[in-house]
């Protein structure tokens, strides 16, 4: 059983250390909005597929969510409900349980949208309330907020705190089962108690408006919780309702805060951002952008990346342009300022499709174009070993997680279909099978025997 | 009275052992003269530390060989200073000269000053024609040397042969430690039977167990070893004194990432009773590339001789590498490779290996707090780029808490720009950095470095 909450260390299988203490009753001013909010927070039980252990396994986890509409849309975290989910059960505030399906997810912002089985809701005459977003841009540090959710499976737990920081920046991308998160927004920080299982639940103001979706906390720290701002969530929800997915543009640059480098680059303060990395093979690289260039403007709009907190909006601006559109980047290199035209590509995850190869005791993930690019592979041929089951042929032959299988019986693994065909052939007539493996650039041959 | 008793008992025990080999004291006294301890100093940017090794005298000119592990391969020869040679039991250090390493045997050669040479006996004096191969369970003995504070006093080690294995050099393993690493092993008649290796692990089993993808777990006993290379592997190679301190020329094929295969794979590929080595990559402009070798080719024969099978299988890569190392640049090496189901004959003319990292020029900038070194061929290989795309400088050392360290410069960072201007050559990088180092008014400078697949702009503040 997993209680979902992301932290610096993932809270996987956290033990239920239920420490019950007697405290004075909370005397909050209970507004109508707040009551309605309490009646819209749900518990979410998810059963999902996992390939981590060399085979297809099922894993249960608990999270929280909030109902957004009378027609049963429920917002939660992407790390609570993902396409790996095979069963999603939602426990309504009335404690009645109803099934839900995934409408869509967006791992970059860690948000997922569910739809309750409304036919079942009507048949059983179940009722629930729904809540509305507030404006997360209007929050101020010190403002009182409440987190509502299911910490450690304790349904409908309300905790209180304040906004500790309105724009917390996390450098780099945070990974969620290999999926990328966090380049396009800053986070709300709160000291309201947030524990594993709170994930996906709302962070609300006293009037019951949703100003954030609780997402992660530092484990082992005291009261350092983080939430996705409502204004980010609102846009993502709109996109998921309309298209079932969020499409973003990608050009392959990583900006860095200029912070005190303005002198060196002969710039006025609050002008431009430093291009700290250009991904090889990306549209920006093909357009000739280089590390050390200063990005001054995009399509004529001025860019200001003096501080790290200002970087996610820049990334988000690029991401929100239509895929395939041409951006005019105004770039300063040395003393020269010029316009560079970059045509965007669709942003993709490095995580490829997964499957299990039961007869060999292996689970694998297709090498994606992005994975190949990030790992300097020649192309996207091959599959990455995700898990190996002890005692099975792959284990006996010495395969390990992270190995890339490039060929089976001399057949290049250009798709998962090729590997599935090889498995079927093996299952029909088990015999020694030749695997070509790449590990740390070293190529070796291995025989998998029945 | 009581204090005398213990030495007396010990003395009796020693006598009992000696009685079994009445001739040993005489053999011992002669053979100790072929052993020495060698001390040298490793000079780093900000510190120096003395290092000790044991060696054996190989000729009348005072030439001494030290085992491969006696000197860290990554050190530049300019960092190796103050070689001192100590005779067993004599606290005087005599001046030595480092002659370089022979890549085939791995030995380091040192020559001691003339005045002490007459007190040394080369190991060849104890070599017997048709070097005797010790038999299983045969009693063998060797010499160990006590630490420096005990004047490197020699002491006797004795054991029985437990096993002989091809790794690929013929290697004897004894039941217990039989000699100090780098020191000789003899049989009961006093004939030289082998040279103790830099010790295996505390147990040979730990050393020999396969651990694919990782380093073997070794708990090294630095003082004594239970493994030795047979005289057959030692005596024919004593003439391999390097021509220069860098051990040049170095025969080079350019087949990168040789990987062994187990017997299941060998029999699947219909290589009966033999083995092969998979070539992971073929390096740019290398003799292998020019000979038409392709990545993933499997080398199955060299000069028409099939690659033998070894136990453990992974020894095969050492075998192939040694086949290259024992040759010279210009030699033609005939290679039979499997490519898919084809058997292809290749002829590679070996070259001289491109400049190694340890041979790269380097400059230490004390005020900036780091050492820059020349970008060499191996840096391009490590970064998977074309050699022509390389250039500039690599960070070799970062002074702890120095300006560069505080700016998060890390060793192995590739410096591509200094103060916003690209540096294409090492000379250009050094000139720019030296100018900054010398300028007392400079308060900061900016580096663009590449680290793995990422780049970073670092601002280094000078105080």
Q: Is A199 a catalytic residue?
A: yes
* Cβ contacts of A436 on chain B, cutoff 8 Å: 296
Tell me what the pLDDT averaged over chain A comes to: 89
Could you give the 3-state DSSP secondary structure of residue B427?
helix
Q: How far apart are the first and last CA of chain B?
A: 69
Q: CB distance B457–A446 less than 8 Å? A: no
Q: Searching chain B, which residue's CA lies closest to the CA of residue A375? A: B453
d(C-alpha B122, C-alpha B131), whole Å: 16
Question: What per-residue string of b and e applies to B205-228 under the rule 16 or more CB within 10 Å gives b?
Answer: eebbeeebeeeeeeeeeeebbbbb
Q: Residue B165 pairs with which residues in a beta bridge?
A: B171
Contact A333, A282 (CB under 8 A): no
Contacts of A426 (CB under 8 A, 6+ apart): A359, A360, A433
Q: How many other CB atoms are there within 10 angstroms of residue B16's CB atom?
A: 9
d(C-alpha B70, C-alpha B105), whole Å: 13
Q: CB distance A291–B457 less than 8 Å? A: yes
The Cβ-side half-sphere exposure at A134, using a 13 Å CA radius, reads 20
Chain B contact present for A412, CB below 8 A:
no
Q: How many other CB atoms are there within 10 angstroms of residue B13's CB atom?
A: 9
3-state secondary structure chain A: CEECCECCCCCCCCCCCCCCCCCCCCCCCCCHHHHHHHCCEEEEEEEEEECCCCCCEEEEEEEEEEECCCCCEEEECCCCCCCCEEEEEEECCCCCEEEEEEEEEECCCCEEEEEECHHHHHHCCCCCCCCCECCHHHCCCCCEEEEEECHHHCCCEEEEEEEEEEEECCCCCEEECCEEECCCCCEEEECCCCCCCCCCCEEECCCCCEEEEEEEECCCCCCCEEEEEHHHHHHHHHHHHHHCCCCCEECCEEEECCCCCCCCCCCCCCCEEEEEEECCCCHHHHCCCCCCCEEEEECCEECECCCHHHHHHHHHHHHCCCCCCEEEEEEEECCEEEEEEEECEECCCCCCCEEEEHHHCEEEEECCHHHHHHCCCCCCCCEEEEEECCCCHHHHCCCCCCCEEEEECCEECCCHHHHHHHHHHHHHCCCCEEEEEEECCEEEEEEECC
Q: What is the pLDDT of residue A172?
A: 59
Q: CB distance A436–B296 less than 8 Å? A: yes
pLDDT in tens, B326-375: 999 999 999 999 998 899 999 999 999 999 999 999 999 999 999 999 99
Q: Tell me chain B's radius of gyration from C-alpha atoms.
A: 26
- Enumerate the H helices of B235-328 as residue ranges: 263-268, 287-290, 315-325
Using CA of residue B435, residue B436, residue B441, residue B446, what is the dihedral sign? positive
Using CA of residue B308, residue B311, residue B316, residue B321, what is the dihedral sign? negative
CA angle B252, B307, B292 (to 5 degrees): 45
The Cβ-side half-sphere exposure at A341, using a 13 Å CA radius, reads 3
Chain A contact present for B270, CB below 8 A:
no
- Percent of chain A at pLDDT > 70 equals 92
- Name the CA dihedral angle for A70, A72, A77, A83, rounded to a multiple of 10 degrees: -160
On the 0-12 / 13-18 / 19+ scale of CB atoms within 10 A, B280 is: buried
This prediction has a pTM of: 0.84
Chain A contact present for B443, CB below 8 A:
no
Contact A72, A118 (CB under 8 A): yes
Contact A348, A370 (CB under 8 A): yes
CA distances B423 to A55, A333, B400, Å, are 51, 16, 25
d(C-alpha A265, C-alpha A293), whole Å: 9
Could you give the 3-state DSSP secondary structure of residue B56?
strand
User: Helix count (H) and strand count (E) of chain B?
Assistant: 10, 27
Chain A contact present for B448, CB below 8 A:
yes
d(C-alpha B68, C-alpha B115), whole Å: 27
Length of chain A: 450
Per-residue pLDDT of chain B (463 residues; tens, 9 = 90+): 344 333 433 444 444 444 345 589 999 999 999 999 999 999 999 999 999 999 999 999 999 999 998 999 899 999 999 999 999 999 999 999 999 999 999 999 999 999 999 999 999 999 988 767 999 999 999 999 999 999 999 999 999 999 999 989 999 999 999 999 999 999 999 999 999 987 654 444 444 455 444 444 445 567 899 999 999 999 999 999 999 999 999 999 999 999 999 889 999 999 988 999 999 999 999 999 999 999 999 999 999 999 999 988 889 999 999 999 999 999 999 999 999 889 999 999 999 999 999 999 999 999 999 999 999 999 999 999 999 999 999 999 999 999 999 999 999 999 999 998 899 999 999 999 999 999 999 999 999 999 987 888 899 999 7
d(C-alpha A84, C-alpha A176), whole Å: 13
Contact B97, B117 (CB under 8 A): no
Chain B contact present for A445, CB below 8 A:
yes
Chain centroid to CA B147: 23
Question: What per-residue string of b and e applies to A335-364 under the rule 16 or more CB within 10 Å gives b?
Answer: eeeeebebebbebeebbbebbbbebbbbbb
Q: What is the pLDDT of residue A289?
A: 95
E strand segments, B128-284:
139-145, 154-166, 170-174, 184-187, 192-196, 227-230, 251-252, 255-260, 277-282
CA angle A289, A270, B419 (to 5 degrees): 50
* Cβ contacts of B268 on chain A, cutoff 8 Å: 432, 434, 447
Q: Is A363 a catalytic residue?
A: no
Q: What is the pLDDT of residue A10?
A: 32
Strands B80-86 and A2-3: unpaired
Q: How many other CB atoms are there within 10 angstroms of residue A202's CB atom?
A: 33
* Cβ contacts of B212 on chain A, cutoff 8 Å: 398, 444
pLDDT in tens, B4-30: 333 433 444 444 444 345 589 999 999
Question: What per-residue string of b and e applies to B286-315 under the rule 16 or more CB within 10 Å gives b?
Answer: bbbbebbbebbbbbbbbeeeebebbeebbb
pLDDT in tens, A84-116: 999 999 999 999 999 999 999 999 999 999 999
pLDDT in tens, A165-201: 999 988 756 666 778 887 899 999 999 999 999 999 9
Q: Which of B264, B341, B448 sits opposite A432 (nearest CB)?
A: B264
Q: Which of B259, B268, B456 sits opposite A432 (nearest CB)?
A: B268
Q: By 3-state DSSP, what share of chain B in percent is helix, strand and coil, each rounded to 5?
A: 25, 35, 40
Could you give the 3-state DSSP secondary structure of residue B280?
strand
* Cβ contacts of A265 on chain B, cutoff 8 Å: 420
pLDDT band at A262 (very low <50, low <70, confident <90, very high): confident
Q: CB distance B268–A447 less than 8 Å? A: yes
Strands B80-86 and B93-101: antiparallel
Q: What is the pLDDT of residue B453?
A: 77
pLDDT band at A63 (very low <50, low <70, confident <90, very high): very high
Could you give the 3-state DSSP secondary structure of residue B70?
helix
Point out the catalytic residue in the list A110, A131, A167, A282.
A110
Query: B335: closest CA among B302, B297, B310?
Result: B302
d(C-alpha A122, C-alpha B25), whole Å: 103
Q: Is A32 a catalytic residue?
A: no
Q: What is the pLDDT of residue B104?
A: 95
Contacts of B206 (CB under 8 A, 6+ apart): B200, B216, B217, B218, B219
Could you give the 3-state DSSP secondary structure of residue B407?
coil
d(C-alpha B232, C-alpha B235), whole Å: 6
Chain B contact present for A280, CB below 8 A:
yes
pLDDT at A345 over 60: yes
Point out the catalytic residue in the list A3, A79, A107, A167.
A79
Q: What is the pLDDT of residue A220?
A: 81
Could you give the 3-state DSSP secondary structure of residue B418?
strand
Least confident segment among A24-28, A222-226, B261-265, B280-284: A24-28
Q: Residue B196 pairs with which residues in a beta bridge?
A: B228
């Amino acid at each position: 059983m997993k209680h979902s909450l992301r932290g610096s260390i993932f809270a996987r299988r956290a033990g239920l250390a239920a420490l019950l203490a007697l405290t004075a009753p909370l005397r909050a001013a209970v507004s109508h909005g707040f009551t309605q909010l309490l009646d819209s927070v749900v518990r979410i039980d998810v059963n999902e597929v996992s390939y981590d252990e060399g085979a297809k396994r099922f894993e249960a986890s608990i999270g929280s969510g909030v109902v957004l509409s009378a027609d049963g849309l429920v917002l939660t975290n992407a790390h609570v409900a993902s396409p790996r989910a095979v069963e999603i059960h939602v426990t309504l505030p009335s404690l009645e349980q109803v099934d839900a399906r995934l409408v869509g997810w967006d791992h970059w912002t860690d948000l997922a949208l569910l739809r309750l089985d409304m036919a079942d809701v009507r048949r059983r005459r179940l009722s629930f309330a729904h809540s509305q977003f507030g404006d997360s841009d209007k929050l101020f540090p010190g403002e009182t907020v409440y987190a509502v959710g299911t910490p450690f499976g304790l349904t409908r737990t309300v905790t209180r705190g304040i906004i500790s920081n309105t724009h917390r920046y996390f450098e780099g991308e945070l990974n969620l089962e290999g999926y990328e998160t966090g380049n396009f927004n800053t986070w709300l920080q709160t000291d309201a108690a947030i524990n594993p299982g709170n994930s996906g639940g709302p962070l609300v103001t006293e009037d019951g408006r949703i100003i954030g979706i609780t997402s992660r906390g530092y484990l082992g720290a005291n009261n350092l919780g983080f939430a996705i701002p409502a204004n980010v969530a609102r846009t993502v929800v709109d996109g998921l309702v309309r298209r079932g997915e969020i499409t973003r543009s990608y050009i392959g640059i990583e900006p860095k805060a200029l912070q005190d480098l303005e002198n060196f680059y002969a710039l006025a303060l609050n002008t431009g951002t430093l291009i700290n990395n250009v991904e090889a093979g990306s549209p920006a690289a093909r357009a000739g952008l280089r590390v050390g260039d200063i990005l001054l403007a995009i399509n004529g709009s001025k860019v200001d990346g003096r501080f790290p907190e200002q970087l996610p909006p820049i990334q988000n601006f690029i991401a929100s342009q239509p895929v395939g559109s041409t951006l005019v980047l105004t770039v300063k290199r040395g003393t020269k300022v010029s316009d560079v035209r970059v045509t965007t590509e669709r942003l993709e995850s490095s995580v490829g499709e997964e499957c299990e190869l039961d007869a060999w005791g292996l689970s694998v993930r297709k090498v994606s174009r992005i994975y190949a690019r990030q790992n300097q592979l020649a192309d996207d041929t091959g599959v990455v070993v995700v898990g190996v089951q002890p005692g099975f042929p792959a284990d006996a032959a010495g395969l390990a997680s992270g190995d890339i299988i490039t060929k089976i019986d001399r057949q290049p693994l250009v798709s998962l279909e090729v590997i599935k065909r090889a498995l079927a052939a093996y299952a029909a007539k088990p015999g020694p099978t030749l695997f070509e493996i790449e590990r740390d650039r070293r190529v070796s041959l291995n025989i998998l025997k029945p | 009275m009581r204090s005398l008793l213990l030495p007396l008992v010990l003395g009796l025990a020693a006598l009992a052992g000696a009685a079994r080999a009445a001739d040993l004291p005489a053999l011992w006294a002669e053979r100790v003269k072929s052993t020495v301890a060698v001390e040298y100093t490793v000079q780093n940017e900000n510190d120096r530390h003395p290092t000790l090794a044991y060696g054996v005298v190989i000729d009348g000119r005072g030439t001494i060989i030290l085992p491969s592990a006696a000197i860290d391969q990554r050190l530049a020869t300019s960092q190796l200073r103050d070689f001192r040679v100590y005779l067993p039991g004599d606290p005087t250090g005599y001046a030595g000269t480092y002659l370089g390493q022979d890549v085939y045997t791995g030995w380091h050669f040192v020559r001691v000053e003339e005045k002490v040479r007459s007190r040394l006996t080369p190991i060849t004096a104890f070599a017997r024609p048709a070097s005797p191969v010790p038999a299983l369970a045969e009693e063998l003995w060797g010499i160990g040397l006590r630490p420096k504070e005990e004047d490197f006093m020699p002491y006797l080690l004795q054991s029985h042969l437990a096993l002989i294995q091809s790794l690929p050099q013929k290697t004897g393993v004894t039941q217990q430690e039989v000699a100090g690493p780098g020191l000789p092993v003899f049989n009961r008649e006093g004939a030289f039977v082998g040279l103790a290796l830099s010790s295996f692990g505390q147990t040979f089993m730990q050393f020999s167990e396969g651990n694919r993808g990782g380093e073997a777990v070794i708990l090294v006993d630095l003082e004594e070893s239970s493994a030795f290379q047979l005289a057959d592997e030692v005596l024919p190679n004593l003439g391999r004194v390097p021509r220069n301190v860098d051990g040049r020329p170095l025969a080079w094929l350019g087949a990168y990432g040789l990987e062994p295969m187990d017997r299941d794979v060998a029999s699947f590929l219909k290589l009966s009773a033999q083995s092969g080595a998979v070539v992971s990559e073929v390096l740019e402009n290398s003799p292998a590339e020019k000979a038409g070798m392709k990545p993933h080719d499997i080398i199955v024969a060299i000069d028409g001789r099939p690659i033998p099978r070894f136990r453990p299988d992974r020894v095969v890569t050492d075998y192939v590498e040694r086949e290259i190392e024992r040759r010279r640049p210009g030699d033609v090496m005939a290679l039979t490779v499997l490519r898919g189901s084809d058997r292809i004959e290749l002829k590679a003319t070996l070259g001289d290996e491109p400049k190694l990292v340890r041979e790269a020029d380097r400059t230490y900038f004390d005020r900036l707090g780091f050492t820059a070194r020349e970008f060499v061929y191996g840096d391009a290989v490590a970064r998977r780029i074309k050699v022509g795309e390389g250039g500039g400088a690599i960070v070799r050392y970062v002074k702890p808490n120095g300006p560069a360290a505080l700016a998060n410069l890390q060793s192995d960072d590739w410096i591509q720009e200094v103060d916003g201007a690209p540096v294409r050559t090492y000379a250009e990088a050094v000139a720019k950095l030296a100018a900054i180092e010398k300028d007392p008014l400079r308060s900061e400078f900016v580096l663009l470095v590449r680290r793995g697949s990422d780049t970073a702009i670092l601002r280094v503040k000078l105080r």
